[in-house]
A and B are shown apart, each in its own frame.
Chain A
Amino acid sequence: MMISSVFPPALLFIAGAFLIPFLKVRAVKSAYMIALPIAAFAVLMSIPEGTYGMMRFLDHELFMRFDRLSMVFGYIFVIITMIGMIYALHVKDDSQHVAAFIYAGSALGVVFSGDFFSLFFFWELLTLSALYIIWSGGSKDSHGAGFRYLLVHLFGGLCLLSGIILRLFQTGSIEFGYVGLDLGLSSWLILIGFAINAAVPPLHAWLTDAYPEASVTGAVFLSAFTTKTAVYVLARGFPGAEVLVVLGAIMTVFPIFFAVLENDLRRVLSYSLINQVGFMVVGIGIGTSLALNGTTAHAFAHILYKALLFMSVGAVLFRLGTAKATELGGLYKTMPLTLIFCVIGAASISAFPLFSGFIAKSLITSAVAYEGLILVWLALLFASAGVFHHAGIKVPYFTFFAHDSGKRPKEAPLNMLIAMGIASFLCIFIGVFPSVLYNILPYPVSYVPYTADHVVSQLLLLCFAAVAFGTLMRIGYYPPEKRAVNLDTDWLYRRGGPAVVVYFGRPVARFTAWLGGTFVHALPRALIQFGKNPTVYLKIAMDTILLPIRTPDARPDAKKELAAAKENCPAYVLKPWSIGSAMAFATLFLGIYMLVYFIRSMGG
């Protein structure tokens, strides 16, 4: 490996971000925000595959790795940054743009890290910048959700760090490549650290908790980076880890039940995000070249259509201040373009033929079937129908049709429409010309997505899912949208946390306070008093004990006598040490210690 002059793409975003606040002319700033991702794309194109050393840190080489796997993620991260920035051009608060660029830059940093040290650095930067984006939602809810996000991710980060250090001791290397589960604890800790960012249950609730509370534009960025960097590191480190097949299958299935019930449409999209990442995790767990191609392709396609869906619901939220199904409906009349973009996103996520989801997801489901995993395959098929049900039908239907809410918002602002337009174009382009995406996948692709039986089967699955939705709506069985909180695993820490404080923290705090009061204050004081004047102290102690058992009429006199005795006893009023004398003692002991040390070292 040689040190070469490749410019780190991550640095372009992270350093470039800090120029934004200094650009005062709006047009210049907008141009800069769009130019930066384009420049990053050009940088990526110019880098030949290979590993490039950057610097030495604690006797270890830090380096970047550019290969077919990391490049796909790099390209889509840069593309979505540009789309997200166009979508956010109207935002006046520069700090949000800076945070978004640092966030995207950190994701690039993780993806191109060849070693665990740089990976961990960018991993934590990713968490912190995401936290800022969540807080930019500005509400009390986003504040709390941000703190919970931080706690969960710090836990994940610590697992990862512990795993990295253990691994370093086991292997002597910090290279980040295939990790596998052969090294025991260290591998599992790294896996847990990665899995938390991929929203693998039961540690998924941070996502559905935090993303819907972010700002309109922030949620678009959030939907793209954290989970997909996690998918990348899992694909790099744990391909073929069978536990991921099971966890991934669970991820595809359980969120759709929540999504059916959820009222906040950005939360519905968050649940379907977990469902989609589940497909990718299954692909990683299978680990064949077809499956890993599928995971990569699906991550690429997913970033585009998920951002598109978040953008269209975000546009509604931007215009109306709410994204709750109960308060929306009938918006197609005044936001027809947003509707079209939303439907394109919905068709893509549902994997309709000619849309991006179809050509990407098929790779994974076929890989599962070729391995003969019937149950997993059935789960993925169910999840495919389910995701169409809630993300494909429910989101557009309740927003733009359903009962007319009477609201007549203006069409989305121009910059939002352009951003959604680009994403929509790419969703369809990839769906129609899959070879464009297939050609950049990590392994050679011989897969043909458009066969007659495949297209017909998929259309039948989706259309009859729609028939089920329509029928259940018609007969009134479909659960009505309700303003409510639906409990998920975050209940454990949102309710469990306070319970720990009340039932465990407070008693322990009281007990330690009692220990301190008794052994640090009361007991030494009693001993000092006793030592200074034993007879009087004993008499006072005796009188104190006897006081309650004296006859009632003798009690007042005895009380007075006791008070007088305490007053007259010189040792009873104990002065605390002044800081000066405490310092003098400390210095004295330090001096003695140094003297002893000096003499000993002389002797030795």
Chain B
Amino acid sequence: MKKEFDFFDRPKNQLILFLSFIGLLILLLGLDFFVDKHPYFGWDGIPVFYAFYGFVGCVLLVVIAKNMRPFIKREEDYYDDK
């Protein structure tokens, strides 16, 4: 039998991917201090503004969504005819 394709399940590959992602982050953060900026409003040209906004935005997104669950989550057959 052919061996199963399991590239992403091997810890070694996962580590390589993780480290290259961290490397990319560091590279991008470094570049952010050097590129020639054309900010729209001024304050959006501050280094790491986009990184900060992306991170905080997504954390808030999940926090808010998670706290919406008690209000909007119902059983899967909620709308079925009783």
| Contact B50–A457 (Cβ < 8 Å) | yes
| Contact A389–B58 (Cβ < 8 Å) | yes
Which of A7-15, A479-487, A528-536 contacts the other chain?
A: A479-487
Which of A222-230, A254-262, A296-304, A582-590 contacts the other chain?
A: A254-262
Q: Which of A313-339 contact B (CB under 8 A)?
A: 332-334, 336
Contact residues in A for B31 (Cβ distance below 8 Å): 452, 456
Contact residues in B for A492 (Cβ distance below 8 Å): none
A179 to B: closest C-beta gap in Å: 31
Known contacts A382-B57, A389-B58; A261/B65 CB under 8 A: yes
* A372-B41 Cα distance, complex, nearest whole Å: 8
Contact residues in B for A261 (Cβ distance below 8 Å): 65, 68-69, 72-73
* A301-B45 Cα distance, complex, nearest whole Å: 28
Interface 1/0s, chain B 31-68, versus A by CB < 8 A? 11001111011000100111111111111011011101
| Contact B5–A333 (Cβ < 8 Å) | yes
| Contact A472–B35 (Cβ < 8 Å) | no
Q: Which of A257, A377, A382, A404 contacts B68 (CB 8 A)?
A: A257
* A163-B59 Cα distance, complex, nearest whole Å: 44
| Contact A453–B51 (Cβ < 8 Å) | no
B13 to A: closest C-beta gap in Å: 12
A494 an interface residue at 8 Å Cβ cutoff?
A: yes
A203 an interface residue at 8 Å Cβ cutoff?
A: no
| Contact B59–A472 (Cβ < 8 Å) | yes
| Contact B54–A468 (Cβ < 8 Å) | yes
Counting chain B residues whose Cβ lies within 8 A of the other chain, the interface size class is 35 or more
Contact residues in A for B65 (Cβ distance below 8 Å): 257-258, 260-261, 479
Interface 1/0s, chain B 8-28, versus A by CB < 8 A? 110000000000010011001
B73 to A: closest C-beta gap in Å: 5
Contact residues in A for B24 (Cβ distance below 8 Å): 463
A434 to B: closest C-beta gap in Å: 18
| Contact B61–A482 (Cβ < 8 Å) | no
Q: Which residue of A lies closest to B38 (CB)?
A: A453
Contact residues in A for B7 (Cβ distance below 8 Å): 332
| Contact A456–B58 (Cβ < 8 Å) | no
A546 an interface residue at 8 Å Cβ cutoff?
A: no
Contact residues in B for A467 (Cβ distance below 8 Å): 25, 55
A385 an interface residue at 8 Å Cβ cutoff?
A: yes
A477 an interface residue at 8 Å Cβ cutoff?
A: yes
* A469-B58 Cα distance, complex, nearest whole Å: 7
| Contact A484–B75 (Cβ < 8 Å) | yes
Q: Is the interface of A mostly helix, strand, loop or mixed?
A: helix
Q: Which of A67-103 contact B (CB under 8 A)?
A: none
Q: Which residue of A lies closest to B48 (CB)?
A: A460
Q: Which of B67-82 contact A (CB under 8 A)?
A: 68-69, 71-79
Q: Which of A372, A461, A463, A472 contacts B53 (CB 8 A)?
A: A461
A478 an interface residue at 8 Å Cβ cutoff?
A: yes
A459 an interface residue at 8 Å Cβ cutoff?
A: yes
A435 an interface residue at 8 Å Cβ cutoff?
A: no
Contact residues in B for A382 (Cβ distance below 8 Å): 53, 57, 61
B35 to A: closest C-beta gap in Å: 4
| Contact B41–A369 (Cβ < 8 Å) | yes
Q: Which residue of B lies closest to A374 (CB)?
A: B41
| Contact A464–B51 (Cβ < 8 Å) | yes
Most buried by A among B36, B38, B50, B59: B50
A343 to B: closest C-beta gap in Å: 12
A200 an interface residue at 8 Å Cβ cutoff?
A: no
Q: Which of B8, B32, B48, B54 contacts A462 (CB 8 A)?
A: B54
A458 an interface residue at 8 Å Cβ cutoff?
A: yes
Q: Which of A334, A458, A469, A483 contacts B76 (CB 8 A)?
A: A483
Q: Which of B25, B35, B48, B75 contacts A453 (CB 8 A)?
A: B35
Q: Which of A144, A332, A334, A461 contacts B51 (CB 8 A)?
A: A461
Q: Which residue of B lies closest to A369 (CB)?
A: B40
Contact residues in A for B21 (Cβ distance below 8 Å): 463, 466
* A467-B51 Cα distance, complex, nearest whole Å: 10
* A351-B28 Cα distance, complex, nearest whole Å: 17
| Contact B79–A463 (Cβ < 8 Å) | no
Contact residues in A for B55 (Cβ distance below 8 Å): 464-465, 467-468
B53 to A: closest C-beta gap in Å: 6
* A125-B46 Cα distance, complex, nearest whole Å: 52
A142 to B: closest C-beta gap in Å: 13
* A319-B38 Cα distance, complex, nearest whole Å: 48
Contact residues in A for B25 (Cβ distance below 8 Å): 463-464, 467
* A260-B59 Cα distance, complex, nearest whole Å: 12
Known contacts A460-B28, A464-B52, A467-B25; A452/B62 CB under 8 A: no
Interface 1/0s, chain A 476-512, versus B by CB < 8 A? 0111001111111000001100000000000000000
A41 an interface residue at 8 Å Cβ cutoff?
A: no
A233 to B: closest C-beta gap in Å: 30
Known contacts A256-B61, A370-B40; A464/B54 CB under 8 A: yes
| Contact A460–B75 (Cβ < 8 Å) | no
| Contact A460–B59 (Cβ < 8 Å) | no
A450 to B: closest C-beta gap in Å: 12
A487 to B: closest C-beta gap in Å: 4
Contact residues in B for A120 (Cβ distance below 8 Å): none
Q: Which of A6-61 contact B (CB under 8 A)?
A: none
Taking A465-B57, A467-B25 as known contacts, 18 extra A-B pairs with beta carbons closer than 8 A to each other, sorted by chain A number, are A257-B64, A260-B61, A261-B65, A261-B69, A333-B5, A366-B40, A378-B53, A385-B54, A386-B58, A404-B9, A452-B31, A463-B24, A468-B55, A468-B59, A469-B62, A478-B62, A479-B66, A484-B76
- 21 pairs from A and B in contact (CB 8 Å cutoff): A144-B79, A257-B64, A257-B68, A261-B69, A332-B8, A333-B6, A385-B53, A389-B61, A452-B31, A456-B31, A457-B32, A460-B48, A463-B25, A464-B52, A467-B25, A468-B55, A468-B56, A468-B59, A484-B73, A485-B75, A485-B77
